[in-house]
Amino acid sequence: MNEFEIQMRTIRNLMSYAVPENRLAEAEDLLDIYRHDRIALDLLQEFYSFLPDAHNDWVREILLVRRRRGMFLLAAMTETTGYLYLVSGEGVEFQGLLADGPWDRDLLDFFGYSGREQFMEEGSSLDGYQVYEPMDSDQDICPSCHVATGELHELGCPVEVCPWCGGQFIYCSCRYDQLGIDVMESEEDLLRLEQLLNAQGRIPYSPEQRPTFLDDGPGVIID
C-alpha cells in the first residue's frame, strides 16, 4: 500500500464520521478524483479532521483561488459555504471563510493582492475561480515541490536540474564540489549553497523536467 492509498484510507475513515450518509457517495467521488494529488488530499484530510463549523459537512468541490511558488490558496466548497486553506508541501493552514477573505497581510502580499478589498472584489463571483485540477494531469506543475512552469524549485526538490552539470541536482556531486566540502554539516553550508546556485543561475521548472517515475528523493541532506 503506497502513501496515497494510506492517506485515502485515513480520509475515508474520517468521512464516515463527518459526512451525512446521503452525501457520502458524492464525497467519495470527489476524493477519488484527487487520489494521486497530495495537495488536495492534505486539504481534505485537514477539513474532515477539524470540521470548520464543528458539525457534519462535506466537500463538494475544490476551487483554485491562487497559486505561487508551490503554495496554493484553495477553497473547499460545501453545500452552503466555502472555506479557505493555504496548502503546500509543508502543510495546511486554515484561513477562514472564503466570503470573508484572508486577514493575514503577508499572505495577501505573497499572492499579489493589494488588500482584502481586492480579494473580496475578485471573489464576488465564484465564476472567477477555476476548479482545482489534479496535479498528476497538469504538466505545468512540478510533481514534487509544486511550483509552476517558470518558477524556481524549492531547494532540495528532486526534479531540479543542476546548473553546473545538467544532472539531477540532489544526486550529483556538484553541491559538494562547489562548496569544497565532503558533507553538508550546517545551515551555513545550506545558505552558501543557495547563494552559489543563485549566482550560477538556477534552472526554473519546465514540463520537460517531469520524470516518468518520481519519488521525493533525499532532498538536500545536512549530515
Which residue spans within the chain are E strands per DSSP?
A: 61-68, 71-77, 82-88, 91-97, 130-131
Return the pLDDT at 212: 58
In order along its 223 residues, the chain shows pLDDT tens digits of: 788 999 999 999 999 999 999 999 999 999 999 999 999 999 999 999 999 887 889 999 999 999 998 999 999 999 999 999 999 988 999 999 999 999 999 999 999 999 999 999 887 778 889 999 998 777 888 888 889 899 999 988 999 999 999 999 999 999 999 999 999 889 999 999 999 999 999 999 999 998 754 444 444 444 4
- Residue 112: the pLDDT is 95
> What is the per-residue pLDDT for 222?
40
Of 117, 30, 17, nearest to 78 (Cα)?
30
CA separation, residue 199 to residues 82, 170, 183, 195 (Å): 43, 18, 21, 6
- Terminus-to-terminus CA distance in the chain, angstroms? 30
What pLDDT does residue 144 have? Answer: 86
- Specify the pLDDT at position 77: 97
8 A C-beta contact, residue 68 and residue 112: yes
| pLDDT value of residue 220 | 44
